[in-house]
């Protein structure tokens, strides 16, 4: 769904291959028979874009975090079981790592019934661990926060560890603009591999130079919109979904900011917003690390992969008008973890941006809190599981 889960899977593959391991990513929706996966993706996309209240209702009824986990794998997930087991046998896999909740339900069921003979380590990519992330058959859950890991252990009585987000190391290269001092996270005693990011390997110096050049190129693109306007990234996700994005963009432009609105693959939204004076809509972005470091803050509505990439890049995050369901729950949990703001209205948004885009100790504290979220390498934790 969207591109966040794919991004996490791709980064885990990169780490595995960099360590000399064989790895393969598989979309669980493509393993479902009869085109069910395509139908699920299309239905979810339509709901999020056009009637988000409907998805919010489904989330409240079936997914919202609660005191009890779902007792077993969903019937839908089980339909992909034979094809997954065939892939495991064909590839001689030593571990299966779900990064999507439907995949976690599938592996949990297969482990519980003895069909899957290798361990499964679930990488939970959400700040709010909703019920479909939980299945007692899985061997390990790797979580973003202590609270999330505590909830998994309480619900399942199974191991859960805190690793923080899975992010490409390119996002950690160099300081964010306007931030005093270096913004790289401190080295973790539990993961001594990298002084840049506790959960990834250092990119080469040439990559850092390229990222610096990329950020400079973005700043040149900002110049025609007027000097002295802090660029504020507004993310609508890969599908370009959000509430009152036009109004938010106009508000920011009217108060001295340059709104840079990410519309994902929603070309219709991008064309509409491109006509708003003082608003930049760059289309699909392939150099996100450079763009993030050229901006002063992120306005986010989902607490997903863009938000944690911003934290890695040293960018303060403000949650505003979150998508119903796991978006709203995630934005609340992210703020409760102390790594972002969650604001209820336009005045709150402007207040947070004024505080967090200004050079000074408050911004520095928020950047440090964001970097502290990155603790360990999720891949290393997964491959330590005994077979």
pLDDT in tens, the chain (387 residues): 767 889 999 999 999 999 999 999 999 989 988 887 777 777 766 666 666 667 666 776 667 766 554 544 467 778 889 999 999 999 999 999 999 999 999 999 999 999 999 999 999 999 999 888 999 999 999 999 999 999 999 989 999 999 999 999 999 965 433 333 333 333 333 333 333 344 543 443 444 555 576 788 999 999 998 888 999 999 987 766 777 889 999 999 999 999 999 988 888 888 888 888 999 998 888 899 999 999 999 999 999 999 999 999 999 999 999 888 778 899 999 999 999 999 999 999 999 999 999 999 999 999 999 999 999 999 999 999 987
d(CA 349, CA 358): 14
Indicate if 154 and 12 belong to the same structural domain: yes
Q: Can you read off the two tokens belonging to residue 236?
A: 């609508």
What's 340's DSSP letter? S
pLDDT score for 195? 31
pLDDT at 40: 77
Q: CB of 172 within 8 A of CB of 186?
A: no
DSSP classification of residue 61: I
Question: Is 96 found in the same domain as 47?
Answer: yes
If one counts the domains in the chain, the total is 2
| Residues 258 and 223 sit within 8 Å (Cβ to Cβ) | no
Both 265 and 180 in one domain: the answer is yes
At 67 the pLDDT is 56
Residue 183: which CATH number? Answer: 3.40.50.2000
Length of the chain: 387
Q: What is the pLDDT of residue 181?
A: 32
Which domain covers residue 102, as residue numbers?
A: 4-168+375-383
User: What is the pLDDT at residue 193?
Assistant: 34
What is the pTM for the complete model shown?
0.85
Q: Is 5 left (phi over 0), alpha (psi -120 to 50) or beta?
A: alpha
Please tell me the predicted confidence (pLDDT) of residue 255.
96
CB under 8 Å to 297, separation ≥6 — which residues?
230, 232, 233, 315, 316, 317, 318, 353, 356, 357
- Are both 138 and 184 inside the same structural domain? no
Strands, sheet with 341-343, edge to edge from the N-terminal-most edge strand:
258-262, 231-235, 297-300, 317-320, 341-343
181 and 134 in one domain?
A: no
Residue 131 confidence (pLDDT): 85
Eight-state DSSP code of residue 335: H
**Residue 25 and residue 151 share a domain:** yes
Tokens of residue 128, six digits = 């709010």
Residues 71 and 188 in one domain: no
Q: What DSSP string runs through 115-182?
A: ---S-BEEE---SS--GGG--TTSSEEEESSHHHHHHHHHHHSS-EEE------GGGGSSPPTT-SS-
- Distance, CA of 159 to CA of 183 (rounded, Å): 32
Q: In what order do the strands lie in the sheet with 121-123?
A: 121-123, 140-143, 160-162
Same domain? For 176 and 290 the reply is yes
Alpha carbons within 13 angstroms on the beta-carbon side of residue 271 total 3
Do 343 and 207 share a structural domain?
Answer: yes
Q: Is residue 55 domain-shared with residue 121, that is, in the same domain? A: yes
Based on the fold, state whether residues 227 and 366 are members of the same structural domain.
yes
| Per-residue confidence (pLDDT) for residue 104, from 0 to 100 | 94
How many other β-carbons are positioned within 10 Å of the β-carbon of residue 320? 24
- Residue 34 CB burial class (10 angstroms; 0-12, 13-18, ≥19): exposed
145 contacts: CB under 8 Å, gap ≥ 6: 127, 162, 333, 337, 373
Sign, CA dihedral 237-186-335-156, equals: positive
- Are 252 and 289 in the same domain? yes
Residues 6+ apart with CB under 8 A from 291: 214, 215, 218, 233, 260, 282, 285
| pLDDT at residue 182 in the model | 30
């Amino acid at each position: 769904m969207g591109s966040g889960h794919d991004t996490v899977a791709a980064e885990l593959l990169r780490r595995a291959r960099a360590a000399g391991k064989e790895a393969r990513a598989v979309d669980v929706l493509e393993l479902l028979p009869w085109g069910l996966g395509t139908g699920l993706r299309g239905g979810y996309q339509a709901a999020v874009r056009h009637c988000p209240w409907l998805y919010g209702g489904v989330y409240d009824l079936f997914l919202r975090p609660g005191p009890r986990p779902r007792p077993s794998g969903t019937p839908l997930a089980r339909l992909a079981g034979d094809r997954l087991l065939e892939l495991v046998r064909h590839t001689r896999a030593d571990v299966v790592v779900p990064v999507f909740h439907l995949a976690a339900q599938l592996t949990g069921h297969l482990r519980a019934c003895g069909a899957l003979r290798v361990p499964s380590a679930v990488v939970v990519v959400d700040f709010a661990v909703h019920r479909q992330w939980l299945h007692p058959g899985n061997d390990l859950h790797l979580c973003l926060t202590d609270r999330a890991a505590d909830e998994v252990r309480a619900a399942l009585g199974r191991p859960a560890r805190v690793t923080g987000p899975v992010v490409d190391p390119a996002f950690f290269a160099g300081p964010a603009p306007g931030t005093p001092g270096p913004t790289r996270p401190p080295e973790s005693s539990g993961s001594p591999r990298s002084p840049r990011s506790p959960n990834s390997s250092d990119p080469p110096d040439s990559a850092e130079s390229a990222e610096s050049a990329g950020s400079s190129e973005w700043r040149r693109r900002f110049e025609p919109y007027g000097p002295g306007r802090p660029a504020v990234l507004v993310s609508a996700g890969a599908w370009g979904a959000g509430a009152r994005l036009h109004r938010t963009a106009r508000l920011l432009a009217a108060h001295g900011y340059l709104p840079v609105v990410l519309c994902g693959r929603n070309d219709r939204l991008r064309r509409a917003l491109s006509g708003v004076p003082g608003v930049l809509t760059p289309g699909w972005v392939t150099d996100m690390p450079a763009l993030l470091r050229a901006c002063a803050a992120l306005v986010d509505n989902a607490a997903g992969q863009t938000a944690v990439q911003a934290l890695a890049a040293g960018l303060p995050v403000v949650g505003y008008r979150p998508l119903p369901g796991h978006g709203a729950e995630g934005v609340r949990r992210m703020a409760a973890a102390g790594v972002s703001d969650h604001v209820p209205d336009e005045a709150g948004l402007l207040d947070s941006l004024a505080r967090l885009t200004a050079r000074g100790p408050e911004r520095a504290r928020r950047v440090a809190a964001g970097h502290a979220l990155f603790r360990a390498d999720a891949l290393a934790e997964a491959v330590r599981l005994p077979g």
